Structures are given as structure tokens and as C-alpha cells.
């Protein structure tokens, strides 16, 4: 029996977004994003369930719409972009949980700390584009605890309220382009 050729996909950054959301003062949510990132998906055939996923984002590309806050996030009090310039994810498994849903397991490295995480991935399907390329889409979501990655900065208001939640929600809308 012949082995099936590998299928490789790459992230299309023009049609993707990588965001995070965190509660501020526990009453509202601040959204940030990364504008520079890359990733690949490789699998034995056309079944995403056996996919090997590699992803990285450039910490210096972080944006929350506020230059002062972005500078604080890149500083040593948060991400420390100078010492830890990349966030990375490497999959360890992808299990189908429904018709178009998966549990995506892998190791997330952030701020020099690597931890296993499980994210939810919803498959949006495949479609050919105007240029003859095959595209596939996923929405990937999950929550991490920032303090588990040594992102421990905390602030307390004068009234004793927490400035920043430990929970950080990840929301990634990813469009992949099939190679070859």
C-alpha cells in the first residue's frame, strides 16, 4: 500500500486575524491583536484530524489601539519582547469532536514558559479562490491563564479592585492556503 502524499497549508495573513481579549477593571474587555505571524499545517492526506500545526507570532507586532498600552505590554512588566520576541504553538493532537469541530492540543510557549493547552477549532470549510488556490478556514478559540506564563503584573485600584483578569481569551480566525 502506497503512503499518501503529505498535504501542506500555510496561513494567509491577509485573510486571518489573531486576537486576545482580557477583562480590564473586571467591567469591560480590551482586545489586542498581533499583526505579524506565520503558521503551517501539515497532514498525511486531506484529514485535518492528523494535522501537525506550527504557529508563531511576533510580540513586537502587538496592538491594542493604544500606543502607550502597547509599549507597556512589550516591556519587561508583561511580554518582555526584547528577551522573548515570539509566541509559539506546536500541536500535539487534533481530535474531531463534532461535524466541524475539533479539540486542538499543543504546547504554547509565551514569555519563556511552555505549557500544554487545549483550544477549540471550528472548521469553516474549503473553497477555491479567484486565483485557483484552495483555501480552508478555521476559528480557533480558548482561554489561558496569563500568570501560568509568568505574566504576573497586577494592579489594584484605590478601591481595591483588580485591574486585569488572569483569564485571557484567544480568538483566531485563520484562512489557510493549500500548497502544491
Please tell me which of 21-25, 27-31, 168-172 the model is most confident about, judged by mean pLDDT: 168-172
Please tell me which of 1-10, 11-20, 161-170 the model is most confident about, judged by mean pLDDT: 11-20
Count Cβ atoms within 10 A of the Cβ of residue 40 and give its class: 0-12 exposed, 13-18 middle, 19 or more buried: middle
| Longest alpha-carbon distance in the chain | 70
Closest to 97 in 3D by CA, of 117, 118, 115: 118
**CA–CA separation, 172 vs 86, rounded Å?**
17
Query: If pLDDT is split at 50, 70 and 90, which confidence band does 180 have?
Result: confident
Q: How many CB atoms lie within 10 A of CB 89?
A: 22
For residue 24, pLDDT beyond 50: yes
* pLDDT, greater one: 50 or 25: 50
**CA–CA separation, 72 vs 65, rounded Å?**
13
The set of long-range contacts for 120-126, using a CB threshold of 8 Å and a minimum separation of 24, is 121/94, 123/48, 124/100, 125/100
What percentage of the chain reaches a pLDDT higher than 90?
70
Closest to 105 in 3D by CA, of 96, 116, 113: 116
For residue 27, pLDDT beyond 80: no
Q: Which pLDDT tens digit goes with each residue over 67-121?
A: 998 998 899 888 999 999 999 999 999 999 999 999 999 999 999 999 999 999 9
pLDDT of residue 23: 80
pLDDT of residue 3: 56
Query: If pLDDT is split at 50, 70 and 90, which confidence band does 157 have?
Result: very low
What percentage of the chain reaches a pLDDT higher than 70?
89
β pairing state of 28-34 and 62-63: antiparallel
The architecture of the domain spanning 7-178 is Beta Barrel (2.40)
Q: Which pLDDT tens digit goes with each residue over 33-74?
A: 999 999 999 998 777 888 999 999 999 999 999 999 899 889
Helix (H) or strand (E) holding 129: none
Q: Are 45 and 7 in contact (CB under 8 A)?
A: yes
Q: Are 38 and 12 in contact (CB under 8 A)?
A: no
Amino acid at each position: 500500500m502506497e503512503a499518501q502524499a503529505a498535504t501542506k497549508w500555510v496561513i494567509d495573513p491577509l485573510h486571518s486575524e489573531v486576537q486576545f481579549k482580557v477583562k480590564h477593571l473586571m467591567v469591560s474587555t480590551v482586545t489586542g491583536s498581533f499583526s505579524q505571524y506565520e503558521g503551517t499545517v501539515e497532514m498525511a492526506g486531506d484529514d485535518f484530524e492528523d494535522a501537525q500545526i506550527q504557529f508563531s507570532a511576533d510580540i513586537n507586532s502587538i496592538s491594542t489601539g493604544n500606543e502607550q498600552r502597547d509599549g507597556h505590554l512589550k516591556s519587561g512588566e508583561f511580554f518582555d519582547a526584547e528577551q522573548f520576541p515570539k509566541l509559539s504553538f506546536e500541536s500535539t493532537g487534533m481530535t474531531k469532536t463534532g461535524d466541524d469541530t475539533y479539540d486542538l492540543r499543543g504546547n504554547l510557549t509565551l514569555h519563556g514558559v511552555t505549557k500544554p493547552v487545549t483550544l477549540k477549532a471550528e472548521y469553516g470549510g474549503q473553497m477555491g479562490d479567484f486565483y485557483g488556490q484552495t483555501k480552508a478556514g478555521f476559528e480557533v478559540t480558548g482561554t489561558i491563564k496569563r500568570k501560568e506564563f509568568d505574566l504576573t503584573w497586577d494592579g489594584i485600584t484605590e478601591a481595591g479592585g483588580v485591574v486585569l483578569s488572569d483569564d485571557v481569551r484567544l480568538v483566531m480566525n485563520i484562512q489557510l492556503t493549500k500548497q502544491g
